[in-house]
Amino acid sequence: MKILIVEDEKILRDSLAEGLRLKGYAVDLAVDGEDAGEKVFCETYDLIILDLNLPKVDGFTVLENFRKENLDVPVLILSARDGIDDKVKGLDLGANDYLTKPFHFAEFEARVRSLLRRKTVVENAILSCGPLCFDTVTREVTAAGSPISLTLKESALLEYLLLHKGRVIKLEELIEHVWDIHADAFSNSVRVHMSSLRRKLKAGMGYDPITNRIGEGYVIREDDVV
């Protein structure tokens, strides 16, 4: 899952980014409204965290511009403005949620999870595939109750596949949603993480639930029949 944080206060921006990265999200940063506008149109995000008081172009205008372009990515507004008018205006412009500063990281993260789930219409915090369970809150992965230890990148790949269970996901799509702008996005690196993930799943589950369709992409399926 790839998230864009638009926030001009460096300390807050960096701490939110660090917190989200530790949870396995790919995170890009924008320091003002202009920077945000450019990134939003060049990259594919699963969620945008948007501050309102921004240099160059304010948050309301950023939001208005990309809703005009019909980008349906969920937006969580973060703002010190706690007036009801700002909340109403933000929601009317198409924001999906609103968090007033200061806030606790735990609440912020819960809202991030909820918005990402809403986007993919998954009601449950637990994603599953056969005996495999992925708890999106604790990030724990188990097979028939036994834990499988995954790296951040491996669990991010697995989460994306599980959210789109049964659909073949192109390598480019995985790179877009699981890797951030600065990461080594060469397809080889994705393949390395993917093969290590598949090895661990096979060891834990007794079979590899992920299939690589040559020239098409990867798919995770309930059964082990290819």
Cα separation values, 206 from 31, 130, 166, 177, Å: 46, 12, 19, 28
Of 28 and 51, which has the nearer Cβ to Ca ion?
Answer: 51
Name the residue with tokens 């990148």.
153
CB-based contact 116:149 (threshold 8 Å)? no
Under rule CB under 5 A, how many of the chain's residues touch Ca ion? Answer: 3
CB of 97 to Ca ion, least distance (A): 18
Part of the chain binding Ca ion (CB under 5 A), chosen from 12-20, 48-56, 134-142, 218-226: 48-56
Asked if 53 interacts with Ca ion (CB under 5 A), we say yes
CB of 182 to Ca ion, least distance (A): 23
CB of 106 to Ca ion, least distance (A): 22
Distance, in Å, from the CA atom of 155 to the CA atom of 161, rounded to the nearest integer, reads 10
Which H, E and C letters describe 24-50, residue by residue? CCEEEEECCHHHHHHHHHHCCCCEEEE
**φ, ψ at 130 (rounded to 5°):** 60, -130
Q: What is the DSSP letter of 107?
A: H
Distance, in Å, from the CA atom of 19 to the CA atom of 158, rounded to the nearest integer, reads 20
CB of 56 to Ca ion, least distance (A): 12
Name the residue with tokens 């056969």.
130
CB of 37 to Ca ion, least distance (A): 16
Asked if 8 interacts with Ca ion (CB under 5 A), we say yes
CB of 49 to Ca ion, least distance (A): 12
Of 8 and 34, which has the nearer Cβ to Ca ion?
Answer: 8
Part of the chain binding Ca ion (CB under 5 A), chosen from 10-18, 45-53, 154-162, 184-192: 45-53
Of 53 and 114, which has the nearer Cβ to Ca ion?
Answer: 53
* Contacting residue, 28, 35, 46, 51, with Ca ion by CB under 5 A: 51
Distance, in Å, from the CA atom of 209 to the CA atom of 148, rounded to the nearest integer, reads 14
- Which chain residues interact with Ca ion by CB under 5 A? 8, 51, 53
